[in-house]
Amino acid sequence: MKKIIALLVICSIVSGCRFSKETGPDGVTRKNQTGTLLDISNETMRGTPMVLSKNYPGSVEFATDVMNWKRIKNSGFNTVRVCWVDPYFQDRGKEHWKVEEVVPWYDECVRIASEMNMSIVINYHNVGPQQHHDTTYTFQTEKEFWRAIAPRYSDNPLVYYEIANEPTFRMGDYLKPEFKKNYLQIYRQVRNDAPDREILFFSFNTIRDEIIEVVKGYEYDLEWDHTTIAYHMYNDTTSAAVRELMEKHRVICTEWFYDHVGKSRPDYTFIKQVDGFKENAQTLESIGSSWIDWRDWNDTTLNELLDTLITDAKKKGYWWVK
């Protein structure tokens, strides 16, 4: 007789929060927050990225200038995703900072975020490393980075940890035994070093249906009270998979790119209009997901964020500033 796992998903409103209850194969009933990740003020997180890299001194200068944080906050945003992109260059044998060299720059960014009372997402940022370079799935550089970072800001409620940006573009990799074993080692290491910090996990490069099966494969391996599913709004024209995940867990979009970019760059065809809206921020506001936009690593202009997005939001009625 087949063993059937009874999934009891019961959504309710409790002090403004939604929850789901699920009884797993171990007989334990778990209560998970659902919907989206909110900041410590119980507000939707809306933000933009900054970049740290030895190869982009202008971006580092931008990220460590408090005036840029003030400009972002005064424009209606409460979150900055600070991405260390040197692992990308390390994989390609190019000049890069070591972990200990980037830590002081993160110290400064966390200091500014605390001063500004803004959320800061610390992001280990590579692009498909376990698909092209770390093909045996050791995650050694990621583990080194988080051993240094996780305990350092473990008591700061404004800090969020995004384990690894788009570790692979193949959803099946997430479920391979060796990949999953080492990926979860980082997760448990961070959870042990910073038990109260929110971990942003998966960082999918797509919103296609495959992400649902991947999350199911990790359902009983993660502590969902401090874990959020991170995804990037790429490669599909519907938010259906994200909305399904939101029924059981919290989510956050840590990347979406602007529609006109895809039209001007042939290699940017992964950018889609989702649910029929021109800019993905409107889609995200519609489904109730926290979000962070995206731009090129050396782009410090904020033009798209402040001109394209805010203009579009005010014109089309999804502007969030009261």
Q: Does residue 203 register a pLDDT over 50?
A: yes
Give pLDDT, residue 322. 84
- Look at 33 and 199; give whichever has higher pLDDT: 199
3-state secondary structure the chain: CCCCCCCCCCCEEECCEEEEEEECCCCCEEEEECEECECCCCCECEEEEEEECCCCHHHHHHHCCHHHHHHHHHCCCCEEEEEECHHHHHHCCCCCCCHHHHHHHHHHHHHHHHHHCCEEEEEECCCCHHHHCCCCCCCHHHHHHHHHHCCCCCCCCCEEEECCCCCCCCHHHHHCHHHHHHHHHHHHHHHHHCCCCEEEEEEECCCCCHHHHHHHHCCCCCCHHHEEEEEECCCCCCCHHHHHHHCCCEEEEEECCCHHHHHHCHHHCCCCCCCCCCCHHHHHHHHCCEEECCCCCCCCCCHHHHHHHHHHHHHHCCCCCC
Reported confidence tier of residue 281, pLDDT bands at 50, 70, 90: very high
Q: Report all structural domains of the chain as residue ranges with CATH numbers, in order of start.
A: 1-33 (no CATH), 35-316 (3.20.20.80)
Give pLDDT, residue 16. 36
Reported confidence tier of residue 263, pLDDT bands at 50, 70, 90: confident
Over residues 293-310, the mean pLDDT reads: 94
